[in-house]
C-alpha cells in the first residue's frame, strides 16, 4: 500500500490499523540537537484521544506514546525517530456485521474495489485512529519551529449553521480548550455543544468548519511550480478523514470581489518590514509565503457512521439494511483541531528546512 509517507526533508511514515495491536510512525529528517519535550508531545496527543468528553466517542485509549529510536537523553540524534501507540480498547466484535457489507459514505467499498481484501474492523487503515501518529509528529515539528518563532492555532469555527461572529484569528490553547467543543467564543461554544448533544441522542451526526491561523511565518516558504506552499498544504489537509473543502484567505468569498478590492497592496511598517494592508491572500502569494498570517478554513462533513438503520448493499450486491453499531463521534470537529494543527506544522517544518538551502 503506497501513500503512507508525507514530506520531503521532514518526512513522516505512519503504520497500523484501528483494531490492530498498535499504530505508530517514523519521522525522518528531524535535525539533531532538538531538546524534545516529550510531555508536551503527550499533551498534544491527549487533545486528540477518544473519550475525552461527553461530545466524543466513548472509546477509551490512553494514547501513551512509546519512543523507540532517534532520541537520546532527551535530545534528537538526527536518526529516524520511531514511536508507537498501543491500541488498548478496541472492540472488534462491533464490526463483525461488516465483513461482507458496505457502510454508506465509508471507505468499505472503495478499499474492497482497490485491494480486493480489507480489514473491516473499525475501518482498518482508513480509520481516523491513524491520525494520532500525525499529531505526535506534528508536536515535534511544533517544537522545531518554535525556535524560529513560528506557531499555529486552530479552533472550531462552525458546527452546522452555528458559527463564531468574527473572522479567523489566532487564539492561545487555553482559550480554545476552555470548551469541549474547542470553540473559543463561550456563547457560540454553548450553542455548538447543544447541537452535538442533540444529534448524538438522535443517532445522527453533524459537520462544520475548523479555522487555522499561523503566525511568525517568514516570507519565502514554498517551491515553484508543483510544490507551492498552498499545494503541499492542500495535500496535507485534504489527506485528513472527512475533509470536504479548504479555503485560504478570502477563499470563495474572494471570487465575489473585484481585483481592485481583492488585491493585497504592499506597504512598509514602522520597522521597515514589507507588509500588506489586507490579507485576502491568506499569507501566500505566487505559491510562496509573504510574511503575513496564514489563514485557512477547512470544512468537515458529518461523520458517516450513524446510530440508526441505513440502506446499503453487501459484497454480493444484494440490498441490505445496516444497523448502526460501535463507538463513534457525533461530530469530528473538536478532535480534529489538534490534527489540523499537526498537518499544518508538518508542512511548515518541511518548507522551513527546504528553504534553508534556497540561497547563499
**Counts of helices then strands in the chain (DSSP H, E):** 9, 19
Q: What is the DSSP string of 141-159?
A: HHHHHHTTT-EEEEEEEEE
Asked whether 268 and 217 are in contact (CB, 8 A), the reply is no
The per-residue pLDDT for 113 is 82
The per-residue pLDDT for 103 is 79
The per-residue pLDDT for 94 is 63
Q: Which three-class secondary structure state does DSSP give residue 86?
A: strand
Dihedral angle at the C-alpha atoms of 345, 348, 354, 359, nearest 10 degrees?
Answer: -150
The per-residue pLDDT for 52 is 67
The per-residue pLDDT for 17 is 87
What are the pLDDT tens digits along the chain (360 aa)? 579 999 999 999 999 988 888 999 999 999 999 999 999 999 999 999 876 677 776 656 688 999 999 999 999 999 999 999 998 866 655 666 666 777 777 778 888 888 887 776 666 678 888 999 999 999 999 999 999 999 999 999 999 999 999 999 999 999 999 999 999 999 999 999 999 999 999 999 999 999 999 999 999 999 999 999 999 999 999 999 999 999 999 999 999 999 999 999 888 988 888 888 899 999 999 999 999 999 999 999 998 888 788 787 787 788 878 777 666 789 999 999 999 999 999 999 999 999 999 988
In this structure, what DSSP letter does residue 89 have? S
The per-residue pLDDT for 118 is 73
Asked whether 61 and 52 are in contact (CB, 8 A), the reply is no
For strand 274-276 and strand 266-268, is the pairing parallel, antiparallel, or unpaired?
antiparallel
Distance of CA 62 to the CA centre of its chain: 19
- Prediction pTM value: 0.93
pLDDT tens, position by position, 62-108: 889 999 999 999 999 999 999 999 988 666 556 666 667 777 777 78
The per-residue pLDDT for 335 is 95
In this structure, what DSSP letter does residue 83 have? E
For residue 359, give the C-alpha cell. 540561497
CATH class of the 5-355 domain in this structure:
alpha beta
In this structure, what DSSP letter does residue 73 have? T
What is d(CA 162, CA 83) in angstroms, rounded to the nearest whole number?
A: 38
Asked whether 136 and 142 are in contact (CB, 8 A), the reply is no
For residue 305, give the C-alpha cell. 457512521
Amino acid at each position: 500500500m503506497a501513500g503512507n509517507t508525507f514530506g520531503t526533508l521532514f518526512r513522516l511514515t505512519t503504520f497500523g490499523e484501528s483494531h490492530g495491536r498498535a499504530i505508530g510512525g517514523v519521522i525522518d529528517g528531524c535535525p539533531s540537537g532538538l531538546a524534545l519535550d516529550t510531555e508536551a508531545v503527550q499533551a498534544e496527543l491527549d487533545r486528540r484521544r477518544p473519550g475525552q468528553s461527553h461530545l466524543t466517542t466513548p472509546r477509551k485509549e490512553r494514547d501513551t506514546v512509546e519512543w523507540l529510536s532517534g532520541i537520546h537523553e532527551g535530545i534528537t540524534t538526527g536518526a529516524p525517530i520511531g514511536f508507537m501507540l498501543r491500541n488498548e480498547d478496541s472492540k472488534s466484535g462491533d464490526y463483525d456485521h461488516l465483513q461482507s457489507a458496505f457502510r454508506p459514505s465509508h471507505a468499505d467499498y472503495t478499499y474492497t474495489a482497490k485491494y480486493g481484501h480489507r480489514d473491516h474492523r473499525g475501518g482498518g487503515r482508513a480509520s481516523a485512529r491513524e491520525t494520532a501518529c500525525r499529531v505526535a509528529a506534528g508536536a515535534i515539528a511544533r517544537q522545531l519551529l518554535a525556535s524560529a518563532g513560528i506557531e499555529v492555532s486552530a479552533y472550531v469555527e462552525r458546527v452546522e449553521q452555528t458559527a463564531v461572529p468574527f473572522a479567523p484569528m489566532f487564539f492561545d490553547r487555553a482559550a480554545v480548550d476552555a470548551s469541549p467543543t474547542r470553540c473559543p467564543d463561550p456563547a457560540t461554544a454553548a450553542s455548538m455543544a447543544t447541537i452535538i448533544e442533540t444529534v448524538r441522542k438522535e443517532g445522527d451526526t453533524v459537520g462544520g468548519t475548523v479555522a487555522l491561523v499561523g503566525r511568525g511565518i517568514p516570507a519565502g516558504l514554498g517551491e515553484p511550480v508543483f510544490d507551492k506552499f498552498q499545494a503541499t498544504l492542500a495535500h496535507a489537509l485534504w489527506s485528513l478523514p472527512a475533509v470536504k473543502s479548504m479555503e485560504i484567505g478570502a477563499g470563495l468569498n474572494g471570487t465575489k470581489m473585484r481585483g481592485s478590492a481583492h488585491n493585497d497592496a504592499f506597504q512598509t511598517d514602522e520597522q521597515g518590514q514589507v507588509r500588506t494592508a489586507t490579507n485576502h491572500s491568506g499569507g501566500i502569494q505566487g505559491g510562496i509565503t509573504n510574511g503575513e498570517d496564514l489563514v485557512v478554513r477547512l470544512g468537515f462533513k458529518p461523520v458517516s457512521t450513524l446510530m440508526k438503520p441505513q440502506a446499503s448493499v453487501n459484497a454480493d450486491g444484494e440490498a441490505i439494511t445496516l444497523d448502526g453499531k460501535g463507538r463513534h463521534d457525533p461530530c469530528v470537529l473538536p478532535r480534529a483541531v489538534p490534527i489540523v494543527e499537526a498537518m499544518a506544522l508538518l508542512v511548515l517544518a518541511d518548507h522551513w528546512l527546504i528553504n534553508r538551502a534556497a540561497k547563499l
